[in-house]
């Protein structure tokens, strides 16, 4: 069974079309797509526009997908209006997929912990796990969902969250939407100065992952944990104990043009799991065309 895994799209319909074209070159069969949050970019207004944008993205992905599993990110509406029956929201839910004699149990958790998002951000789906009742509610939901998945006796268990677990592929600093736009316009000289200032302010990166998720996985390990959210750690795939952790950030070209545009292909059989990161960046373009297209 082949999976396309991505996150942090931010409503970029053009990049999705490029991705679909690239995947079509790799396989003739429809695959299963997993999205680890931030399909669109909803900041508290323009709900209709958000739904139109996200449906356009999902329509394009449906050309190559027989199923689309996703969790919302902090910039998504929790339950958007979808026109596609093959799109399955697994936020705080589970789903069991059986295909080619492989049974896979999915479970998910959307949104992001508040400490990973700047206070001035207008992110709609966050939760404060420092509040005991919130922490306990999230923990209970993860445990119950896990138990439901395990009742089906899956061959492979996959947890899909938007946030990474605390301490794993979660080193970074939150970036604002304003900063995303500014990064696109900065000259190389200003970028270099900004980077120097950031290093002087704090050389030790922050952990922006979720303690709830980390503690849960310490007790109930899954085979694969897929997440996004922390862009600078995109592409990292550490294995700890029985779990393969995969940060699939980020498909959008913003805020980092070349380190973005990432996606992951996963091939799963009963006896083997293969991971292969790729990018929609065409490395074979002539130099001038490459610079004009991507920089």
Residues 5, 11, 14, 15, CA torsion sign: negative
**DSSP assignment letter at 165:** B
Asked if 261 and 279 touch (Cβ cutoff 8 Å), the reply is: yes
Indicate the range of 9-13, 272-276, 287-291 predicted with least confidence.
Answer: 287-291
Average pLDDT over residues 48-75: 95
Structure tokens at 295: 């920089």
Which residue would you say has higher pLDDT here, 285 or 152? 152
Query: What is the phi/psi pair of residue 155, to 5°?
Result: -75, -35
Residues 161, 165, 171, 173, CA torsion sign: positive
Neighbouring CB atoms inside 10 A of 47's CB total 12
pLDDT of residue 201: 38
pLDDT greater than 80 at residue 161:
yes
Alpha carbon distance 10, 53 (integer Å): 10
- 214-221: list long-range contacts, CB under 8 Å, 24+ apart: 214/165, 214/166, 214/167, 214/168, 215/139, 216/139, 216/142, 216/143, 216/146, 217/159, 217/165, 217/243, 220/142, 220/143, 220/146
Cα 158–175–177 angle (5° rounding)?
105
At residue 198 the predicted structure's pLDDT band, cuts being 50, 70 and 90, is: very low
Query: What is the phi/psi pair of residue 242, to 5°?
Result: -95, 0
Entry pTM: 0.86
Which residue would you say has higher pLDDT here, 253 or 60? 60
Alpha carbon distance 54, 139 (integer Å): 29
Structure tokens at 121: 């951000």
Hey, which CATH number is domain 2-294, 3.60.21.10, 3.30.70.260, 3.30.420.40, 1.10.10.10? 3.60.21.10
pLDDT greater than 70 at residue 140:
yes
**Residue ranges per domain, the chain?**
2-294
pLDDT digits (tens, 9 = 90+) for 62-110: 999 999 999 999 999 988 888 788 999 999 999 999 987 899 999 999 9
3-state secondary structure (DSSP) of residue 180: helix
Q: How far, in whole angstroms, is CA 31 from its chain's centroid?
A: 18
Which residue would you say has higher pLDDT here, 11 or 203? 11
pLDDT of residue 192: 52
Structure tokens at 272: 């083997």
pLDDT of residue 165: 96
């Amino acid at each position: 069974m082949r999976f396309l895994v991505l996150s942090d799209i931010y409503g970029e319909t053009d990049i999705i079309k490029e991705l679909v074209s690239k995947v079509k070159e790799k396989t003739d069969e429809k695959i299963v797509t997993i999205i680890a949050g931030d399909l669109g970019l909803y900041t508290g207004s323009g709900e209709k526009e958000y739904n139109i944008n996200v449906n356009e993205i999902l329509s394009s992905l449906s050309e190559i997908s027989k199923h689309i599993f996703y969790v919302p990110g902090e910039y998504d509406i929790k339950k958007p209006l979808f026109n596609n029956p093959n799109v399955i929201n697994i936020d705080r839910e589970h789903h069991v997929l059986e295909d080619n004699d492989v049974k896979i149990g999915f479970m998910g958790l959307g949104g992001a912990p508040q400490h990973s998002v700047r206070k001035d951000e207008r992110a709609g789906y966050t939760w404060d796990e420092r509040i005991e009742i919130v922490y306990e509610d999230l923990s209970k939901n993860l445990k119950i969902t896990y138990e439901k998945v395990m009742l089906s006796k899956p061959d492979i268990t996959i947890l899909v969250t938007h946030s990474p677990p605390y301490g794993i592929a979660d080193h970074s600093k939150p970036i604002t939407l304003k900063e995303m736009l500014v990064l696109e316009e900065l000259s190389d000289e200003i970028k270099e100065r900004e980077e120097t200032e950031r290093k002087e302010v704090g050389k030790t990166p922050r952990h922006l992952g979720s303690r709830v998720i980390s503690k849960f996985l310490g007790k109930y390990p899954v085979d694969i944990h897929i997440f996004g959210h922390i862009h600078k750690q995109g592409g990292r795939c550490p294995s700890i104990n029985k779990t393969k952790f995969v940060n699939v950030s980020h498909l959008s070209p913003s805020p980092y043009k070349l380190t973005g545009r990432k996606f992951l292909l996963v091939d799963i059989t009963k006896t083997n799991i293969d991971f292969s990161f790729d990018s929609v960046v065409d490395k074979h373009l002539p130099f001038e065309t490459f610079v004009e297209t991507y920089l």
